[in-house]
Amino acid sequence: MNLKELLNSEQYEAATHIEGPLLILAGAGSGKTRVLTYRIANMITEKDIFPYNILAITFTNKAAGEMRERVKKLIGERAEGMWISTFHSSCVRILRREAEHMGFNSNFTIYDSYDSKALVKQCMKEIGIDEKDITDKEIIGTISNSKNELMNAMDFKKKNESNYRKNKIADVFLLYTKRLRANNAMDFDDLIFNTVQLFEKNPEVLEFYQRKFKYIMVDEYQDTNYAQYKLVKALAQGSNNICVVGDDDQCIYQWRGADIQNILDFEKDFKNTKVVKLEQNYRSKGAILQSANSVIKYNSKRKDKVLRTEQVIGEKLKIYRGYTDKDEAAFVAREIKKIREDSPFNYKDFAILYRMNSQSRTFEDAFRRASIPYRILGGLRFYDRKEIKDIMGYLKLINNPQDDISLQRIINVPKRAIGDATVQKIRDFAKETDECLYSAILDIDFIPGLSSRAKSSVNKFLNLMNGFIELREEMTISQIIKKILEDTGYMKALKDSKDPEDESRVENLKELVSEAVDFENNNEDKSLEAFLEQATLVSDTDNYNEDDDNVVLMTVHASKGLEFPAVFMVGMENGIFPSDACFNSNEEMEEARRLCYVAITRAEEKLYLTSAEQRMVFGRTSCYPQSDFIEEIPLNLKENVGSGNRAVNKLGTQKSKTLKKEYNPHALGAKNGSFSSSLTNNTASGKVNSKEFVPGRKIQHPKFGEGTIITASHSGEKAMLTIAFTNMGIKKLDSSIAPLKLL
Ligand SMILES: Nc1ncnc2c1ncn2[C@@H]1O[C@H](COP(=O)(O)OP(=O)(O)OP(=O)(O)O)[C@@H](O)[C@H]1O
Ligand SMILES: [Mg+2]
């Protein structure tokens, strides 16, 4: 392996600087991930560092798998023993080993978002919180944010004692935490949170891992949240050999607590940090890269970076505006066919990127019609399907009988005459005796108020489960799954059913058995725990297989770190990308712009930005103007390649033209900052007194058009307004930010 041939001089410098803190700060496609891979290979072959001493953290399991494969290819079996994995997977490994320090058993269950939601709902019911007052969504979000900031339920309660609403949420948080513990279960956020706690409370455990992981690397460091940051910091404090890689322009998870400051402050956190900047992009043709640079320049909060390419300028970016969303999708399908006929492109060279999963529908229809093979990442995962979750519920309960959520999921699935009333009585009994449901049903004969029929049904269920638990040691996972499908009658019920959907459920369950066989063949750790773990932690992008010749559809978030010869960024409209909310918040606008930068920089050779004048959103026809992000791309780098059928389109065209004329962010002198800040300035000059915004008043918004104020709540100089726009539906706007004119 001759690193000097494989890397440019800055990359080489980064790959060979092993001791001491190192920050690789560089734009998209500059080879950051590549440097990490070669750095690991170099450490093992040239510096004789034990693989056992290396911890590399990647953003997805797929990225981890690829990195491991590449290192293996470079250096062979010597790569064994390295930890290359995501934050979550690394933490699970640590927690399984150290569970008893935390009062958990090592077979703890990991609750996915569905399980956590079920548990939160139960806790809400128990405390007596009405969904109408506080939604489960709000509570789940609050708990998650709190854990990401390393605040436990008690601290959260103390901090919010005087706030009635938050106090109620704190009660759910407390009960939820207690139940998780009783169920011997952790949610996703707990995996990081508990590991940080483990290290804080047990210095000797931390010391062990500090000694073990002498060399730590983190890819996509810009998207770490506070808890992840603390974790890395704790581990790295031992040896100080920490290398982080990132791009502040690609921080796209602030809504999930990612803190861009972590990368900006790295040099402060670790003394004597060496900083390497990579300035050459190897991925994209010139026009694509220059466009990405032009767009991101509109963000004010960023470290200035240079990113150049030696590649030719290539094709201009292609802009298409359809009349309807169907038009847009049909255009994309036509282009893909055309490009494939004219050049050596395969289907897998195309990616369709959108802002939200719900946007995939129209493209699926268009591709099906055009016989284009495609694959969607996102939406319902295989493991999220009902039938798969049912069987996984059995497996989870076999693995950890304390798991009340799984028990409640499957106790009457398939139906075995154990009704809700019976389950409620079991729950009451368990609560009184302070034990888990499984142990309560072991005492079923002592539970008051149950009919002998109910008792006999529960006993049958218990015998069935006990049988599975006993067989666990003797059987492989695929055998256990087959046994569950047979003994519970689950498969028979589906096969007997007349519902055509059940036919595909049968297929999915067969697929689950194959997955299990695959797992047994390909993993060293063949335990049930390991199987459950990978099913829970695997993300959409992890399942993405580049060998299949499919066009791939996914959200921009999911496309992070990936690259494709041709990219279609679709739904490029104000109201979608950027979303409405961005026009009220500078921060959200900047995050959306970073997301746009990520999307543009996925493309190697061809990039399309498409939109539609009309589209169905939540069953209503909406009209959105073309995205401002398209306007931020210089004219010489883009070309219009057509639009939908305009004959039936007069009204829509005119309207968007008027909007465009009145609303031109760049005419407001927004060259350096983003335009929403210039809008703020515009209104901050005090043109309209907020007291004039009263219900019934007609107003004009440059983007949304004419509307009528429905409600207004004033505080000081600002007013929160609910406005019904003639063409854009109802929106909530802040009068101090939104550029409103009275009519
Ligand atoms: N020195 C080099 N020589 C040849 N190809 C390179 C070199 N450096 C990077 N590349 C290629 O450029 C592409 C981008 O590299 P990589 O994915 O590592 O970039 P990145 O900085 O991690 O991008 P992102 O910010 O999108 O995660 C890859 O195809 C990679 O193999
Ligand atoms: Mg990368």
**pLDDT in the model for residue 468:** 93
Report the C-alpha gap between 153 and 170 in whole angstroms: 6
Q: Is 427 in the active site?
A: no
Q: Is 505 in the active site?
A: no
> Over the stretch 412-449, which tens digit does the pLDDT of each residue have?
999 999 999 999 999 999 999 888 999 899 889 899 99
> How would residue 728 be classed by pLDDT, with cut points 50, 70 and 90?
low
**pLDDT in the model for residue 664:** 39
**pLDDT in the model for residue 583:** 94
> How would residue 238 be classed by pLDDT, with cut points 50, 70 and 90?
confident
- Residue 730 near residue 704, CB atoms below 8 Å: no
Output the CA 387–ligand 1 centroid distance in Å.
40
**pLDDT in the model for residue 283:** 97
Question: Mean per-residue pLDDT for 187-194?
Answer: 97
Report the C-alpha gap between 734 and 718 in whole angstroms: 7
Q: Output b/e per residue, 553-581; b: 16+ Cβ within 10 A.
A: bbbbbbbbbbbbbbbbbbbbbbbbbbebe
| Residue 661 in this model has a pLDDT that exceeds 80 | no
Rounded to the nearest integer, the mean pLDDT of the chain is 89
Q: Which atom of ligand 1 is nearest to the CA of 220?
A: 27
Atom 6 of ligand 1, nearest CA residue: 282
Helices assigned H by DSSP within 286-369: 286-296, 325-342, 360-369
Q: Is 37 in the active site?
A: no
User: Lowest-confidence range among 85-89, 170-174, 272-276, 376-380?
Assistant: 376-380
> Over the stretch 336-365, which tens digit does the pLDDT of each residue have?
999 999 999 999 999 999 999 889 989 999
**pLDDT in the model for residue 733:** 84
Question: Residue 86's beta-bridge partner residues?
Answer: 58
**pLDDT in the model for residue 648:** 41
| Residue 79 in this model has a pLDDT that exceeds 80 | no
Instruction: Out of 220, 540, 542, 588, pick the active-site residue.
Output: 220
**pLDDT in the model for residue 670:** 34
> How would residue 646 be classed by pLDDT, with cut points 50, 70 and 90?
low
Give the rounded percent of residues in the chain with a pLDDT score beyond 70. Answer: 93
Q: Consult the annotation and say whether 29 binds a ligand.
A: yes
Collapsed DSSP state (helix, strand, coil) of residue 110? strand
Distances (CA, A) of 116 to 109, 412, 439: 11, 20, 21
Q: Which of 352-361, 543-552, 718-727 has the largest mean confidence? A: 352-361
| Residue 739 in this model has a pLDDT that exceeds 70 | yes
**pLDDT in the model for residue 659:** 36
Per the model's pLDDT, the better-predicted residue between 66 and 604 turns out to be 604
> Over the stretch 450-488, which tens digit does the pLDDT of each residue have?
999 999 999 999 999 999 998 888 999 999 999 999 999
Q: Consult the annotation and say whether 33 binds a ligand.
A: yes
> β-strand 242-246 against 54-58: which pairing, if any?
unpaired
| Residue 647 in this model has a pLDDT that exceeds 60 | no
> Over the stretch 22-36, which tens digit does the pLDDT of each residue have?
999 999 999 999 999
**pLDDT in the model for residue 1:** 75
- Residue 603 near residue 311, CB atoms below 8 Å: no
**pLDDT in the model for residue 727:** 65
In what helix (H) or strand (E) does residue 396 lie, and over which residues does it extend? helix 386-399
Q: Is 540 in the active site?
A: no
| Residue 679 in this model has a pLDDT that exceeds 60 | no
**pLDDT in the model for residue 78:** 77
Pocket around ligand 1: residues whose beta carbon is below 6 Å from it? Answer: 7-8, 11, 26, 28-34, 247, 250, 282-283, 561, 563, 601
> How would residue 662 be classed by pLDDT, with cut points 50, 70 and 90?
very low
**pLDDT in the model for residue 258:** 84
HEC letters along 154-182: HHHHHHCCCCHHHHHHHHHHHHHHHHHHH
Token pair of 589, please?
């606008």
**pLDDT in the model for residue 729:** 63
Output the CA 621–ligand 2 centroid distance in Å.
38
Give the rounded percent of residues in the chain with a pLDDT score beyond 90. Answer: 69
> Over the stretch 365-418, which tens digit does the pLDDT of each residue have?
999 999 999 998 877 778 888 999 999 999 999 999 999 999 999 999 999 999
Cis peptide before 373 (omega within 30 of 0): no
Atom 11 of ligand 1, nearest CA residue: 282
- CB count, 10 Å around CB of 434? 8
What is this structure's pTM?
0.81
